[in-house]
């Protein structure tokens, strides 16, 4: 599933052709994805201008001049691609319709935005903009890891007394929003913390060190266009490249990249998810 860097990459790709632009026509080709689409979604989107495109956790949100906000979740295999971009940033003309093109937005500047999702685990919803933060998918989310509300004292407080493994605590969206399996594994490697460690037993200075490390990992991943493992593509159809810089994720039985470390990367399963780590470097 796309994590924060992938979703932010998509948002940044959509913003130049969508913000300030009018949706001439919204084409909805099926009644649902993971959940049913909101009532009359095509009519509620058609003719509306996108005032702002933003991200919360792993969700893309578009504020409309109707006073509603469109929420988009990419799910496991969802892609939002742009064609016919008048800014000249994309080389692709409008492609022929594909089987899994579930929602198509025809934009007034000549661009077309297509949401394609073979597995249909994605989702879209419409909500009043002034109550968007209370939407069931957004309410209760923790701080954004790249925002000012994510800081050392807050993370230390979130870890206090928690006897769950540190990896599980970081994956808890109430602790910090948008982190997923890939980037937690990578951040824990840089912090030299084993994913097995109990969060509440990690000394406060080491917890504090996680904050800049998490920010650094996410920033580098966004700069690389995210990570493409299976389905993820950027809005121009290109792959992300951060997967070529993984230190541990997906590298089971390969040599640790720390100089002079003799160990190989191990994989364990925690709460049904694979955790990759170096048993020598991470304690």
Smallest CA-to-CA distance from 194 within 115, 245, 263 is with: 263
Q: Out of 83, 106, 134, pick the residue that ends a domain.
A: 134
**Interhelix angle 204-223/181-191, nearest 10 degrees:** 130
Given 102, 134, 166, which residue is the final one in a domain? 134
Indicate which residue of 22, 120, 206, 273 is catalytic: 273
Same domain, residue pair 32 and 112: yes
Of 151, 171, 166, 185, nearest in space to 277 by CA: 185
Higher pLDDT, 115 or 228: 115
Q: Give the pLDDT score at 239.
A: 61
Mean pLDDT (the chain) is 93
Residue among 11, 56, 58, 233 flagged as catalytic: 58
For residues 8 and 100, membership in a common domain is answered with yes
- Report pLDDT for 85: 63
pLDDT at 59: 98
Asked if residue 19 lies in contact with residue 53, where contact means CB atoms within 8 angstroms, the answer is yes
Q: What is the pLDDT of residue 1?
A: 72
Domain that residue 130 falls in: 4-134
pLDDT-derived band at 96, boundaries 50, 70, 90 = confident
Average pLDDT over residues 29-40: 97
Q: Among the options 3, 6, 8, 68, which is catalytic? A: 3
Same domain, 126 and 30: yes
Rounded to whole angstroms, how far apart are CA atoms 235 and 185?
26
User: Are the CB atoms for 242 and 224 separated by under 8 Å?
Assistant: yes
Residue 187 tokens read as 């951040």
Give yes or no: 198 in active site.
no
Q: Are 128 and 74 in contact (CB under 8 A)?
A: no
What does the pLDDT look like over 199-215, one tens digit per residue?
999 999 999 999 999 99
Portion of the chain with pLDDT greater than 90, in percent: 84
Catalytic residue from among 2, 16, 165, 195? 2
pTM of the model: 0.92
Number of neighbours of residue 189 by Cβ within 10 angstroms? 27
Convert the pLDDT of each residue in 138-193 to its tens digit: 999 999 999 999 999 999 999 999 999 999 999 999 999 999 999 999 999 999 99
Is 273 part of the annotated catalytic residue set?
yes
Neighbours of 52 (CB within 10 A): 14
Number of structural domains the chain divides into:
2
Instruction: Note whether residue 142 is domain-resident.
Output: no
- Whether 235 and 271 map to the same domain: the answer is yes
Q: What is the mean pLDDT of residues 84-93?
A: 63
- The answer to whether residues 30 and 123 belong to one domain is yes
Rounded (10°) angle between helices 204-223 and 152-159: 120
Identify whether 3 is a catalytic site residue: yes
In the annotation, is 5 catalytic? no
Q: What is the CATH number for 107? A: 3.20.190.10
The helix or strand, by DSSP H or E, that contains position 187, with its residue range, turns out to be helix 181-191
Answer yes or no: is pLDDT of 196 > 60: yes
Query: Does 118 lie in the same domain as 32?
Result: yes
Per-residue tokens: 269: 């399963």
CATH number at residue 254: 1.10.8.50
The last residue of one of the domains, among 134, 166, 190, is: 134
d(CA 223, CA 263) in angstroms, rounded, equals 30
């Amino acid at each position: 599933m796309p994590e924060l860097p992938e979703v932010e990459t998509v948002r940044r790709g959509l913003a130049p052709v969508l913000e300030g632009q009018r949706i001439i026509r919204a084409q909805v080709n099926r009644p649902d994805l993971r959940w049913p689409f909101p009532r009359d979604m095509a009519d509620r989107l058609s003719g509306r201008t996108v005032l702002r495109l933003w991200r919360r956790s792993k969700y893309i949100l578009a504020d409309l001049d109707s006073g509603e906000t469109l929420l988009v979740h990419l799910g496991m295999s969802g892609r939002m691609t742009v064609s016919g971009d008048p800014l000249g940033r994309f080389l692709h003309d409008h492609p022929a319709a594909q089987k899994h093109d579930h929602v198509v937005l025809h934009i007034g500047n000549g661009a077309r935005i297509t949401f394609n999702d073979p597995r249909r685990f994605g989702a879209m919803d419409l909500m009043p903009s002034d109550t968007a933060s209370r939407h069931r998918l957004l309410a209760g989310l923790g701080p954004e890891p790249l925002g000012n509300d994510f800081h050392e004292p807050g993370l230390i407080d979130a870890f206090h007394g928690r006897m769950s493994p540190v990896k599980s605590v970081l994956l808890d969206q109430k602790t910090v929003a948008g982190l997923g399996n890939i980037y937690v594994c990578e951040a824990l490697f840089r912090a030299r913390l084993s994913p097995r460690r109990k969060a509440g037993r990690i000394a406060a200075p080491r917890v504090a060190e996680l904050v800049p490390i998490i920010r650094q990992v996410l920033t580098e991943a966004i700069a690389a266009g995210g990570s493409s493992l299976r389905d993820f593509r950027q809005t121009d159809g290109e792959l992300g490249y951060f997967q070529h810089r993984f230190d541990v994720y997906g590298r089971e039985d390969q040599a640790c990249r720390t100089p002079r470390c003799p160990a190989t990367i191990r994989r364990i399963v925690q709460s049904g998810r694979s955790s990759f780590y170096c048993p020598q470097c991470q304690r």
